[in-house]
Structure 1
């Protein structure tokens, strides 16, 4: 009796497999928390053996920190999309803050809260958090500076203005796990109001200029399970 032919297994290129692992780990981080990222959990999501994940990430903490970096980089690019760089700085800032204020990025706020707590105990994650904070701060400072040069914003210190806005955003993010904490009047707009105050804008300017400011990044679908032999 002839045996049933086995389906041919295909090995993905290393860079493609690594990106797939990071994308999966980042999705777990956003939806469930960084603590849920393990080699076995990511392997189960991808339908492969844990040894394959370990081949790319021998140290689990490195997978956690790189997944955080992957997630926050993608989210920053959806909050400040490259395709909107030609818009006036006022419009870009308006869209950035309204996207945050309207709750579309609650998972991102929870991820930052989660990462800052865990980074006390994980050096690689602590470095990743610091790097991503610097990247977001630099992007906002650059945006504000462009607005000053264009005559749209009034401030003699773009860095200080950016820090005021980001500290407010982070302060609101501290309540990301409390569904009732921000039920007060207009608390979700605190970062918007802070920006308007620090940049010499009339109240309501940023909401009025935001226009169609919904999220631009599409949700990534769950990868289809595949089989791949574990590296020897």
Structure 2
């Protein structure tokens, strides 16, 4: 199995070295950068995860994340923000930029290691092939090839958008998707689509999948996710 490669970007050099030591002890391959400018000179496509400080120099962590998410080659790289800022607005900014997690300073190394492990497990690439043609959680199943949803032996009549939303959530169990993210992934270039459209589709979807409706969880202020 290939080693997970992590880049730690923080202008506190001592903290970078502490994180590097502990992450490497946990089995990861780790590089460090002491500014966003330095990090952006690296081949970022080679990393499986970025630990990114928010409060840095001219290019902040938020600004760097925005750059990465707009680049097709790096948009998929998971990001965990490390920051002393922990207001609701800062959290929203981070998650709206596509962050996978947000750790407030001061933090314990054990917390960082646990969160890194969770994000790596959640975002690791799935094998391509027939295994991806069927998405399943207990007796809830999505046959992606046949465009068919079932609960037990009963077929569930989902609209195209409901099917695509459920597919997105099941493929990324535990990941929170904001309304904007869902709109951009499911509705793509369609215009005049309101945030309320997402809520309506989620409400209908919850009713249709019966006992599994409770697994589609609302994270107030952040978005939706499918939880075990």
What TM-score, normalized by structure 1, do the two folds share?
0.27
**More strand as a share of residues:** 2
Rg: which structure is higher? 1
